[in-house]
Amino acid sequence: MTAQTPRDLSAFIAGLPKAELHVHHVGSASPRIVSTLAERHPGTVPSDPEELKDFFAFRDFAHFIEVYLTVVDLVRTPEDIELLTYEIAREMSTGQNVHYAELTCTPYTSVIRGIPIEAYTEALEEARRRAERDFGIVLRWIYDIPGESGIPAADATIGYALEHRTDALVGFGLGGPEIGVPRPQFKPHFDKARAAGLRSVPHAGETTGPETVWDAVRLLGAERIGHGTSSVQDPELLAHLAETGISLEVCPSSNIATRAVESLAVHPLRAFRDAGVKFSINSDDPPMFGTTLNREYEIAADLLELDKSGVVDLARAAVDASFAPDLVKVELIKEIAKHATL
């Protein structure tokens, strides 16, 4: 096999067709997008992209929350929702060669700020249609409960999902802080979502121990786990994940930034691979953590000592773990295979 330099592999990754399964709607707003929103709603943050780059430079988790809430407060109208969604799709497609993405959306935070769920839904759908037409990217939605807002948010979110569902809504999730937000309280909401055919994709085991992952699996019927980093602490859990094929959505840079993992040197990705646990590589809130999906693939390739063939396997694993329509999966696997011959 011909030796590959890091530059060779980076170029290969940049051109690799990909699926992104764990990426947040508001958390994907780049300084460019925030600048446009700030021009629409002046007075809250600077609209100059260079100033915003400094504001976005990650300092700590508290700063991440500050940036995130700043963007949330700039998304005030259905037109803002459509702009945000369409421009995220543009950047994923043209910058990362993402062909399919499941975007985690939190409609509750928009509805309580005055955007009716009907208008929210239509804005997402219009952006999705335009993005597929203009960029060829296929978008699907996961509606997640902001866990810190408790049962009222959960009741509202399952209502949005069931009463205003579109064909593009494929999953039901749970985000926000884990500490102080026990997973069992949301079992009735996930039961309703699953009964309606939505797939269960809660966050778990990011800032809490493996018991949170067990709760997500046993009580919420998780088919994929957002992060799941602490699963490595429980060999029985690793064996269960491997046996059942429940895939972890791994976001290395996010794990370091949020202190879920101390450093890349001790990241559990290798342990997941060695235990036979399925996983996909994702970017979470990429501009806010100073990363891209391409960069996350580079990190994973380094951690797992992968060559081009191994990176191709990562891309295939994401497609396999996705909730994409069968025809989309088949086409994307073909495109990945074609790139593998380059």
Of 206, 249, 296, 298, the active-site residue reads 206
- Count of beta carbons in the 10 Å neighbourhood of residue 114: 9
The three-class DSSP label of residue 234 is coil
Assess contact for 163 and 155: CB atoms under 8 A.
no
Task: Give burial (CB, 10 Å; 0-12/13-18/19+) of 192.
Answer: middle
User: What are the backbone dihedrals phi and psi of residue 2, each rounded to the nearest 5 degrees, phi first?
Assistant: -70, 135
Nearest alpha carbon to residue 318 among 4, 12, 1, 21: 21
The residues, any chain, with a CB within 8 Å of residue 53's CB and separated by 6 or more, are 31
Q: Is 206 a catalytic residue?
A: yes
User: Cα separations (Å) of 79 from 76, 122, 161?
Assistant: 8, 10, 21
Supply the DSSP symbol for 229. G
* Placement of tokens 């978008």 in the chain: 139
Residue 241 to residue 81: CA distance in whole angstroms: 36
- Helix 31-40 to helix 61-74 angle (10° resolution) is 40
Cα torsion angle, 91, 97, 99, 105, sign: negative
Residue 168 to residue 211: CA distance in whole angstroms: 32
User: Cα separations (Å) of 195 from 25, 105, 114, 192?
Assistant: 25, 20, 29, 5
Active site residues: 206
